[in-house]
Structure 1
């Protein structure tokens, strides 16, 4: 599986937003404008996040991996958002533990059977403290994309 086919420079966002709702809107609107998701995606991903939180505590800070059902997706892609200031998410598998997230990997997966492999790809990234640190310090979407591209060329899933 080729990481690069899932990451697009135009779907990397450096966000200065105050809420999860605003972050989701900006990311989902970008996905929609580029034709990767349907108009229903934003509402679906927001509703799913309320029921199944996706915040994770990584060594380098909080990560979130919001996603929703394939029926809201036109073509598979992973959007990356680097937040200027952390946003509070609920931790995955809990209903009350909070995580301050500053990197969001928003997944749009068209084929349900490929979801596990895509999650494995994202897991590879979030387990690498140095990559997360470099992403958090990215000054441009081009720089963040080059970090992901380099990382993708070095691993195989």
Structure 2
């Protein structure tokens, strides 16, 4: 156990086995496509060696997509009400989606209603372009985001 963790003993769920979702370039994108990209790349929780899916921070049901409007909504659930890493988790999701989807998609990332003590502030930080850009220019924060996204690829 690492000292200083807010949730030192999270509930860990088994990884789900997935059959790759068949997708052709000409097909419309759906929520399953988005979900396949996020957990299949094993975005790791910033405080634990587990994926966001294993900690039930992210699930297929937490993603909605409106292809006609080009909008993706990700609603994630931190493991504890006072999760100090909620904005980092949101940044990880945003960076991964920026890398995998065309820039015309509008991405909104929010914490599930009632799941975080500072919900409004976290949501504001995650959906303000200037704040996101500034956060990603911070070398230490960017390194943490990259470690969470690429931890299983190294």
TM-score of the two chains, using structure 1 as the length reference? 0.37
More helix as a share of residues: 1
Asked which structure has the greater RCO (Cα within 8 Å, sep 6+), the reply is 1
Larger Rg: 2
TM-score of the two chains, using structure 2 as the length reference? 0.38
More strand as a share of residues: 1
